[in-house]
């Protein structure tokens, strides 16, 4: 049984929430962050619904609604909501911790804590959609999105005629940006949300087939062995890959490996920035490129055919994510 991406909702440093878009180098804030660009929220939600939502919740809910509209799927047709997030609701977490400090750990309003937990994003999506199905959150640092996608991927193999909402969502605050700098976590940091409607059923809106997903934690395997084993498991050779979308996190060995293999490579993090679930942007970009010839030509040139894409992400914590997509 195959698994298909039937809807995409992509919020990033670019205007990727639009049906058609081009990619540019984002403009950083004064403290060096790349901030996500959100669509006009009033077009999707009423003020009484969104007025108390933090930015990361807005990103998650808006990208969800965009993906569902794209797939033509209603809330009651969703079997579950699965979200991957590395750091969860940072703004609410900071607000709660600051209130603890200023009040000297006395009586603190619990609201900030209640909405600061990692599973708040998936929970709020479920509440807005009034969806009472399976609702879970994965938080495994650099492989949070891969684990969420793997969960949905396996569900489509087990349950026929089902739709699953899978997302990777993270925000960035000035405080966390400063901590990254102080601890020498290099790279250009950003934020974003990538939400997908996946199903075992192909539809008119289908973008691509998800062939396989793998999350790699700390491993003694070499990069080359990790990639080779993943491809062999799926009976694919390196020369069969038309495009590799890497989030290499400055990994020179990864760059060299693909250069030696003479594969077409694009580093998607030069448009999205670095964050724990940036691979969701990579998957969204791959899906859009397969369907949108104008976008594909703008990034690869005319005449380039993209049938098989490998999204290979590495993170500063040593984790890796491998997601194999095939054009339909």
pLDDT score, position 187:
79
Same domain, 154 and 244: no
More confident of the two residues 93 and 154? 154
Same domain, 293 and 189: no
Quick one: pLDDT band at residue 66, thresholds 50, 70, 90?
very high
Last residue of a domain, one of 159, 177, 199: 199
pLDDT score, position 224:
78
Quick one: pLDDT band at residue 184, thresholds 50, 70, 90?
confident
* pLDDT score of 254 more than 80: no
More confident of the two residues 57 and 304? 57
Last residue of a domain, one of 135, 166, 199: 199
Same domain, 177 and 265: no
Same domain, 56 and 180: yes
Across the chain, mean pLDDT equals 91
Same domain, 220 and 184: no
Quick one: pLDDT band at residue 75, thresholds 50, 70, 90?
very high
What backbone torsions phi and psi does residue 295 show, to the nearest 5 degrees?
-65, -45
* pLDDT score of 57 more than 70: yes
Question: What's the total number of domains in the chain?
Answer: 2
Last residue of a domain, one of 170, 199, 228: 199
Same domain, 162 and 215: no
Quick one: pLDDT band at residue 8, thresholds 50, 70, 90?
very high
pLDDT score, position 219:
65
Same domain, 189 and 221: no
Could you tell me if residue 300 is left (phi over 0), alpha (psi between -120 and 50 degrees) or otherwise beta? alpha
Which range of residues forms the domain containing residue 227? 210-327
C-beta separation of 155 from 164 below 8 A: yes
Same domain, 178 and 251: no
Tell me how far CA of residue 235 lies from CA of 166, 212, 228, 265, 306, in angstroms.
26, 11, 10, 21, 18
Over residues 116-170, the pLDDT tens digits come to 889 999 999 999 999 999 999 999 989 999 999 999 999 999 999 999 999 999 9
Q: Whole-angstrom distance between the N-terminal and C-terminal Cα of the chain?
A: 14
C-beta separation of 87 from 180 below 8 A: no
Same domain, 78 and 181: yes
Q: In this structure, is residue 18 part of a structural domain?
A: yes
Q: In this structure, is residue 205 part of a structural domain?
A: no
The CATH number of whichever domain residue 117 belongs to comes to: 3.40.47.10
Same domain, 133 and 272: no
Q: In this structure, is residue 266 part of a structural domain?
A: yes
Q: In this structure, is residue 204 part of a structural domain?
A: no
Same domain, 109 and 145: yes
Q: In this structure, is residue 56 part of a structural domain?
A: yes
Same domain, 117 and 175: yes
pLDDT score, position 248:
74
* pLDDT score of 218 more than 90: no
Quick one: pLDDT band at residue 252, thresholds 50, 70, 90?
low
Identify the CA nearest to 322 among candidates 236, 259, 260: 236
Over residues 197-208, the pLDDT tens digits come to 999 999 999 999
């Amino acid at each position: 049984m195959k698994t298909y991406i039937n809807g995409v909702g992509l919020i990033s440093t670019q205007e990727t929430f639009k049906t058609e878009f081009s990619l540019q180098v984002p403009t950083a804030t004064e403290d060096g962050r790349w901030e996500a660009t959100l669509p006009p929220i009033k077009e999707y939600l009423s003020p009484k619904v969104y007025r108390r939502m933090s930015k990361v919740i807005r990103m998650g809910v808006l990208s969800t609604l965009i993906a569902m509209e794209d797939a033509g799927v209603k809330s009651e047709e969703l079997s579950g909501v699965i979200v991957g997030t590395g750091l969860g609701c940072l703004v609410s977490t900071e607000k709660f911790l600051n209130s603890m400090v200023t009040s000297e750990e006395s009586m603190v309003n619990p609201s900030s804590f209640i909405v600061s937990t990692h599973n708040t994003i998936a929970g709020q999506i479920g509440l807005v959609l009034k969806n009472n199905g399976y609702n879970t959150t994965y938080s495994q640092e650099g492989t949070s999105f891969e684990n969420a996608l793997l969960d949905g991927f396996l569900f489509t193999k087990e349950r026929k005629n089902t739709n699953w909402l899978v997302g990777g969502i993270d925000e960035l605050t000035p405080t966390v940006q400063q901590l990254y700098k102080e601890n020498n976590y290099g790279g250009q940091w950003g934020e974003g949300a990538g939400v997908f409607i996946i199903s075992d059923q192909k539809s008119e809106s289908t973008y691509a087939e998800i062939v396989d997903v793998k999350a790699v934690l700390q491993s003694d395997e070499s990069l080359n062995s990790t990639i080779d084993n993943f491809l062999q498991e799926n009976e694919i050779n390196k020369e069969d890959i038309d495009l590799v979308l890497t989030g290499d996190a400055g990994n020179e060995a990864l760059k060299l490996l693909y250069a030696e293999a003479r594969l077409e490579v694009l580093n998607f993090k030069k448009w999205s920035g670095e964050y724990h679930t940036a691979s969701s942007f990579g998957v969204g970009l791959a899906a859009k490129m397969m369907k949108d010839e104008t976008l594909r030509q703008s990034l690869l040139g005319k005449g380039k055919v993209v049938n098989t894409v490998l999204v290979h992400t590495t993170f500063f914590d040593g984790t890796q994510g491998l997601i194999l997509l095939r054009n339909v």
